[in-house]
Chain A
Amino acid sequence: MSWGQQAVIELFWPNDTGTKRVNTRPNNKLNSGMPGQLRIITGIAAIVLFAGATAAFAAAWQPQIAAMAPPRPDTFDPDIVKRGRDLAAIGNCNTCHTVHGGGNYAGGLPVPTPFGTIFSSNITPDAETGIGSWPEEAFVRAMRAGVSRDGRHLYPTFPYDHFTNVSDADDRALYAFLMTRQPVHASPPANQLTFPLNYRPLIAGWKLLYLRSGDVSADAAKGAEWNRGAYLVEGLAHCGACHTPRNALGAERVNAQFSGGDVDNWHAYALNDTSHAPVRWSADALYAYLRHGWQADHGTARGPMAEVVGNLATVADSDVRAIAVYMADVSAAPAPDRKSPTDAVAQSASTDATQANAAGAAIYAAACASCHEGGRALPYGGVNLALSTAIAGPDPRNLLNIVLSGVGAVAGERSPIMPGFAASIDDAQMVALANYLRSKFGKRQPWNDLDKAVRDARAVQATSLAAGDATAESSQRGKP
């Protein structure tokens, strides 16, 4: 099957060979055993249907829900507000809805997508520019169906494909939390999307294809903890939004759930059985990682994941553990090349790499080994690089980002730190080092096009430094 056919099929039958357990609707019969030509014809027919359906759906404009005067904060039950706070932390709401130096939840963060830049909205209770005039039912509808109070369709950068799984009670708690925040008067900049993507009714067609409403169905065979984890992961925590690859229309590929995705110039690792972690993740290891931001057999949360961990800090142990239990199960049976920590380290003692790449080996020995082979466990020493997913994984960006920018200290916590080398290592040295680490510790084929990846990572690092100078933002946990 060609890529084109595959793409058509994935676009239109996203549940083909669906592994996403939570959407247990029966698979479309058309998906299997169809000869190639029929598939193409069906695909074309589907495109026509899609266009028609979009038009039809667009005509069925979502009704506006009448505005109301912002409710007084003291009309909300403090216990529900508190629950909403924890839920908002699990949902990582502030990461997208707050810009550094701006008001909390006041929006305006540019979210780059392959289709253009979308700016996050103001979700403070400001009546004019936020959601202050939204009745609870409008908020619940936005979470459930991705529709704004005024009836406009919201872009799926707001992950309502996950939030649709959030329970009414949790939506109400989130509403109570947000409506009791400090109102901030701030309108986000206009989205930068080209025609026809700036035509919102098209989103209705997207929803027809990809928005599967309905609560996460419980699995009685699994324990309560697992089910709680499934509910959080597939819903509010929206882990798949980064860790699942997306198709040409920007929807998560359900038949590749958790097989790794992209976010903000970082690679979000595969979390299913295609994971490249040299050591299999256990529920205990995941729990420790999510709780503390590092785990001795795997390493340190950086980039966007560091923000996730930072938010989880206030969340109850039981919920963090539930997420870990469910995700450990998702990561399924260990692939044969996955080892115990001791095996992974023992097998890394190859000397070939040193001979083949003397420049890289010399840099590693002089600049990296004193911490990474110092015999001190995380968080006081560096992780043994034979355990590093960044080095074993298919995408070099995480390794390059971390070598250039290092790992900053986390205020008030015992956490690993690493100096960044952007100021002392040049591009050729960086390539040599990355190649060396890849063959010595990753024991895998060299990454393709490493020179370009290094140039790109350097550009991102420089841009982020310049942006920091310009906007006076304070440093953010884990961001380059």
Chain B
Amino acid sequence: MMTLKVNGRDHQVDADPDTPLLYVLRNDLALNAAKFGCGLGQCGSCTVIVDGKAVLSCVTPLLLVEGKQVTTLEGLGTVAAPAPIQRAFMEEQAAQCGYCTAGMMMRAQALLMRNPKPSDARIRAEFEPHLCRCGTHMRILHAVHRAARLMDTADAASDKSVR
């Protein structure tokens, strides 16, 4: 038994310390936003945030996250009250099949927490570990910029001036 802090709550999980964080999130905690794409740290679809930084949960064993704060997409917002990053992705329609999208949003969230006004070049560099087989890249780029502006605006609810 170990304690895992996810989205602000402590969870008791019964798993070996070498279990990938992704498996525990999906199979034990039923947090299914993070996806299993490659399981090898090569596609980014499993990205979550650990202590403020984007982490590939498929290559992160539990023993590396003990005592740390894990945030998944479910921890950012809900359907009723989406977080700025989620709103931005919806408003830019930055998804096709959606398989990569949760990971992309978590990467964007971590980037914007560290760097509220990233340049195009920075965003591209940051998203290097992520693959999207549907080709939504340009929309994702726009969505990250839009999210940056949304987060910057006091009233994020109705921002028609963006873009």
Contact = CB atoms under 8 A, between A and B. Distances in A.
Interface of A: 101, 362-363, 365-367, 370-371, 406, 408-409, 417-419, 421-425, 429, 468-469, 472-475
A367 B50 contact: no
Interface in B98-127: 114-115, 118-122, 124-125
Contact of B53 (A408, A419, A423): A423
B56 interface: yes
Given A366-B18, A417-B42, A469-B118, A425 B125 contact: no
Contacts, number: 72
B64 A475 contact: no
Contacts of A423: 50-51, 53-55
Contacts of A468: 122, 125
Contacts of A371: 40-41
Interface in B27-52: 39-42, 50-51
Given A424-B50, A424-B64, A424-B65, 4 more contacts: A371-B41, A424-B53, A472-B122, A475-B124
A472 B119 contact: yes
B17 A362 contact: yes
A158 B41 CA distance: 40
A431 to B, nearest CB: 14
A469 B20 CA distance: 30
Most buried by B among A370, A417, A425, A469: A469
A365 B20 CA distance: 11
A59 to B, nearest CB: 50
Nearest to A370: B40
A26 B121 CA distance: 54
A104 to B, nearest CB: 16
B41 A418 contact: yes
Nearest to B116: A469
Contact of A367 (B42, B61, B115, B120): B61
5 contacts: A362-B17, A419-B56, A469-B114, A469-B118, A474-B124
Nearest to A374: B40
Contact of A469 (B53, B60, B122): B122
Contacts of B120: 472
Contacts of B41: 371, 406, 418-419
B67 to A, nearest CB: 10
Contacts of B50: 423-424
A367 B121 contact: no
Ranked 10 nearest A-B pairs via Cβ: A366-B61, A419-B41, A472-B119, A423-B53, A366-B18, A475-B125, A474-B121, A469-B115, A424-B55, A424-B64
A270 to B, nearest CB: 31
Contacts of A363: 61, 63-64
A468 B55 CA distance: 19
